Structure 1
Amino acid sequence: MADHSATRRGEPTLCSKIGAGAAVLVGDFWLARAMELTITSAKRDSMAKIFSKAMTNLAEGEMLQLQKSFGEGTDEKDYFKIIYCKTASLFETACVSAAIASDASELQQKAISEYAISLGIAFQIKDDILDYVGDDSLGKPIGVDLREQKITLPLLCALKNAPERESEIRKMISEIHLHPQYCEQIRKFVIDASGVMDSEKILIEYIFRALEALSSFPESREKAYLRRVAEYNRLRKV
């Protein structure tokens, strides 16, 4: 809704199919259903706390991203705050709520939280990498974030490697709606300045953190599945 996208991962968004008003109502309905399930849960106090934290994080992350749009001011600290709030906190909520529901120990809840946060951050970094080197035919168009004037990790890494061009590049981003050709120029700069390569290294670090967090769990089919999910994230194309 916020970014007005017509597609998401190669499929039409709900907003594009039924309109913004109806899509908001559908979202409200499912939010209400989630809260209903939360407050009727046997672990309702813990569940309500983690779900309310997730909703707060989502709003905070979206507001920070809007505040930092237009190529001005976004730094690495802002970037990781935004992706924790908008992406990793959802992974954390899903995993920790499952741990609570299954009577996991506090140590296990902490471990699965670390796994989920690291996986969520890695997932978003991969998405941001694909914005520079994705494949339109696989449903991952290139340059969407740039056209929306969002500063993500590949660009931040490239600017760190070529600080002499930072002022020029940020100015281009602020004017990208007037000069669409800037999108391809900035994309080439990011690739040439090793922004994608350095982001891949950081992505792998977070995948290792996720895998390490699983070490406190005994070997099982479920643990093997969580491990495969983390490892797949590095290779996915959409």
Structure 2
Amino acid sequence: MQRYFLEEAFQSGNTALIAGEDARHIEKVMRMQIGDRVIAVSAGEAFECEIISLGSDAVTVRKSGGALPGNEMPVQVTIAAGLPKGDKLDLIVQKGTELGMHALIPVAAERSIVRWDKQKSEKKIGRLQKIAKEAAEQSHRSVVPEIGGMLDLEGLIARSAEYDLLLMADEESAKDRSGRPIAGLMENVYHGQKVLAVFGPEGGISREEAEKLRRAGFIPASLGPRILRAETAPLYALAAISSEIEGKR
């Protein structure tokens, strides 16, 4: 059943409005009719709904029952990704959303070849937010991951106090096997807590950046014995965290 995220909450009578591109998708692409059913998501809860009025600019739906079972990861994992080349960040957002990522922060890292100015940053973030929404609908998420504004390393460290566990994927720690396995790092993480995991661009995290992150409390995490690409490492970490948190508890 097709899933849509509501911009406004359900009204009295358990009705809600689906507008804009989603309304056009329902009518023009899916060719739905009055009486057809969709899933509408509001404030982190999903409901099966019946279409009660239909138009190209607005579709009205009405709840058919109570909230559907939730499927969000019980810990909130934010990925801080050093700006990679090409469309690799698109892939991280799309697949990261499928794997349960809560939010993504683009980071202007020392070894990032790509540079975003203000205008480019706003355009890129808007595109990434759309990718996250589409991936959340496809993977039946109840929350669309938030794509944050770009930060430099100092800005990221300043934000780190908001999180319960701070991780970094450091290539040198992978080489000398000094990084701690994710399974062990998750042992003392409880439902509802927040994890911030930092990943470098191509070329990884620089030595100066790694030292700054260590001093700020970030723990080197092991992503296995092999060196992973910039777009692979965050997905490996999300899968490992999901397996540990959701698969064993």
Give the structure-2-normalised TM-score: 0.26
User: More strand per residue: 1 or 2?
Assistant: 2
Give the structure-1-normalised TM-score: 0.27
User: More helix per residue: 1 or 2?
Assistant: 1
